[in-house]
Amino acid sequence: MAECLFCRVVAGTLPATVVHQTDRVVAFRDIAPQAPTHVLVVPRDHHPDAAAMVAADPELAGVVLAEAARVAEQEGIDRTGYRIVLNTGPGAGQTVFHVHAHVLGGRPLGWPPG
Ligand code: 5GP
Ligand code: ZN
């Protein structure tokens, strides 16, 4: 998946501000943050979206959520509240087709999202 943007981040060939990593995920700051904290949690394995990931490797879906919660703690937004977003499909705003969980917080977040 040499042409996949987030496979390149995982491989270290595209620079990113990495805030946390494990053997299964890499977490890095979004290039266009929508909140004071905006981190993307990306599995090292390529799956195009959340539905494909949970179908192929349900355990990995749990790992991504657990690591998103860990990033929120590390960023100090766990007490004030945060949002984990998995845009799935172009109609939902997905633009990078390597599954990623957005971790957003550090300001009041409205509901429903725009
Ligand atoms: P999506 O719209 O697919 O849910 O989210 C893709 C996210 O990736 C967007 O929030 C966008 O700002 C971010 N993004 C796109 N290209 C890059 C990049 O090269 N580096 C980083 N760190 N984030 C990126
Ligand atoms: Zn990929």
pLDDT tens figures, 42-99: 999 999 999 999 999 999 999 999 999 999 999 999 999 999 999 999 999 999 999 9
* Mutational test site, ligand 1, from 30, 86, 103, max ligand atoms within 8 Å of CB: 30
Q: Is 89 left (phi over 0), alpha (psi -120 to 50) or beta?
A: left
In a domain, residue 111? The reply is no
| Closest ligand to the CA of 93 | 1
The answer to whether position 41 is within a domain reads: yes
- Which listed ligand is nearest to 94 at the C-alpha? 1
Domain membership of residue 11 as a residue range: 5-105
In a domain? residue 110: no
Q: Per the domain annotation, does 112 fall within a domain? A: no
CATH code where residue 18 lies: 3.30.428.10
Nearest CA owner, ligand 1 atom 17: 31
Q: Considering the entire predicted model, what is its pTM?
A: 0.98
- The tally of domains found in the chain comes to 1
As a whole number of Å, the CA-based R_g of the chain is 13
Looking at the domain assignment, is residue 26 inside a domain? yes
